[in-house]
Amino acid sequence: MSARATSSFAQPRRVASIRRAIGHLLGVETRGSRVLSLYLGFDPSRMPNLRERRMEADSLLAQAERRWGGDGHVSHLERMALREDIEMVRGLLAEERELAPESARGLAIFCAAPAGLCEVVSLPEPVEAMVALEERPYIEPLLELASPERWCVLLLSHRTSRIFTGTRERIVEVAHVLDDVHRHHEQGGWSQARYQRGVETETDRHIRGTCTLLHERCKRRAFDRLLLAGPAELHHRVELELHPDLRQRLAGCFEIDVERATADEAHRRAMPLIEAEERRREQEALSSLEEGLAPSGHGAVGLDEILEALNEGLLGTLLLARGFRAPGFVCPVCGRLAASAHACPLDGAQPARCEDVVENAIELALENAAEVLVVRHLGEKLAAHGSIAALLRF
């Protein structure tokens, strides 16, 4: 067997850098300063050049000035800090290299000048353009980019294998195997049967070698789910040769021209199966939630109940409808979260209002090693429970 390995790709490194940025932003001390969070998505169809990107950024910063620069609830010092943050971002984006980072599809910028915070994060996928000014960095879009499932798509024919890895957003070819498997013999008689048995033996050897290679790659760099692609008659044979660890990750099969398919075509054909798997996981979580809503069950709904579970460290999985936000309150002494403005039961302090307590809830969930599941496809079912729910730890 001969194998030709391709070069590694930037996506995993960018996701790793996003996770490091989230860890840093979770621990940053703002010392009472508000944080300006700006997100830009570089969709080539909408913003093909620097001029469009700069116009988008200027529009968002102008929006921040209009919304918070004259806000009567914001102190003079906070307004001055906001202007300093805006000028800092404008200065950053005046440099061409910041608006056109290599292979990036977007940017996230976090500024709080009084706290000495100015962080720029390159994003591997476009995001919705937005600006926020809150007590903490607004990290929910980063969370969705940093914690997607990693997918592997194995394309395999009688003589060629190709391995693609990535996320739901993009996959890239990382290995290519070409074996010397003879074509089927067209002549009849005994020689044809013997020749074809030889071909099948070589095909089995090719499948077995590819599955071994795939398992070795998975041990070095794990992926969450696996898809098989290629001639339909080979799917079952490949599945039988998969290591049990890989067989458990198998999420489906589809047909494709292994030798000629591009990465974009493989991704396009894989997306229905990826989305079906996402729906399955969402439905599984929502079904567990429904079962857990019985008295003394392990489910929780409603912002009050979920924040209380978070405060007590009882939350195992946080379920959020994509884009869900809600105002709330944070105790300035102990950090306890609440949906209403009652004095903190632990220290009696009056809580401070925050524009989006969901962001604080996400941070606390991550700090407590809870899973955060952003519901993409079944949001209407979660909306019946207020767009936020949780599965509690037993």
Give the pLDDT score at 7.
26
Residues of the chain with CATH 3.30.420.60: 149-282
Strand, helix or coil for residue 142: helix
Domain 10-146: which CATH class?
Answer: alpha beta
Domain 149-282: which CATH class?
Answer: alpha beta
Residue in this structure with the two tokens 């918070």, named with its chain if needed: 68
Give the pLDDT score at 225.
94
Digit-by-digit pLDDT tens for the chain (394 residues) are 333 222 223 344 455 577 778 878 877 888 888 899 999 887 655 555 677 888 888 999 999 888 887 665 667 888 888 899 999 998 888 775 666 565 677 889 999 988 888 888 888 777 888 999 888 888 878 877 775 678 999 999 998 999 998 888 778 888 888 876 555 444 444 455 565 565 678 889 999 999 999 999 888 777 899 999 999 999 999 999 999 999 999 999 999 999 999 999 999 999 999 999 999 999 999 999 999 998 878 999 999 999 999 999 999 999 999 889 899 999 999 999 999 988 999 999 999 998 889 988 988 887 888 888 989 899 999 999 999 999 998 6
Q: How far is CA 230 from the centre of its chain?
A: 27
User: In this structure, what are the phi and psi dihedrals at residue 47, rounded to the nearest 5 degrees?
Assistant: -130, 75
Residues of the chain with CATH 3.30.1330.30: 294-392
Q: Is 119 exposed, middle or buried (0-12, 13-18, 19+ CB in 10 A)?
A: middle
Residue 221, Cβ neighbours under 10 Å: how many? Answer: 12
d(CA 37, CA 32): 15
CB-CB contact of 210 with 177 (8 Å)? yes
Of the options 3.40.50.11540, 3.40.50.920, 3.30.1330.30, 1.10.620.20, the CATH number for the domain spanning 294-392 = 3.30.1330.30
Backbone angle region of 205, left / alpha / beta, with phi > 0 → left and psi within -120 to 50 → alpha: alpha
pTM score of the predicted model: 0.62
Q: Is 19 exposed, middle or buried (0-12, 13-18, 19+ CB in 10 A)?
A: middle
Residues of the chain with CATH 3.30.960.10: 10-146
Local structure of residue 323 (DSSP, 8 states): T
Give the pLDDT score at 14.
54
